Amino acid sequence: MDVPKDAMLLRIFFGEDDRFEQKPLYEAIVLRAREMHLAGATVLRGPMGFGHSSRMHTAKVLRLSYDLPVVVEIADTEAKINEFLPALDAMMASGLITLEKVQVLQYGKEGLKERANLP
């Protein structure tokens, strides 16, 4: 699989307790992205954050929260990301979804110099 130099980054923010069909939402998103042959997905768990409710979610010992922030990042072509969005919309009840244009410098075994056409 090849990802072009100019690609899109899909970033999805939600809570660790969010679920889809009895699975953690982050797992459902990553599995669906894999089924749709996207280039890859990464799940990041945050130690602290807040969303539209302004309720603080933290892993601090004095203030335990079981709903820590989660971010899923997926980078691929704009077309493949746009194809994935309806599936993502069907899985999410709430959260924040962002898109940004990115430059892919390396993906797979190619070296950074070859991919970025650096001297």
Per-residue CA distances from 81 to 52, 60, 86, 114 (Å): 25, 35, 10, 25
Assess contact for 28 and 21: CB atoms under 8 A.
yes
- Looking at CATH, the fold of the domain delimited by 6-103 is given as Alpha-Beta Plaits (3.30.70)
- Examine the pLDDT at 112 and tell me if it is beyond 80: no
The pTM (predicted TM-score) of the whole model is 0.81
Exposed/middle/buried for residue 94 (C-beta within 10 Å: 0-12, 13-18, 19+):
exposed
Residue-wise pLDDT for 60-105, tens only, equals 655 555 678 999 999 999 999 999 999 999 999 999 999 999 998 8
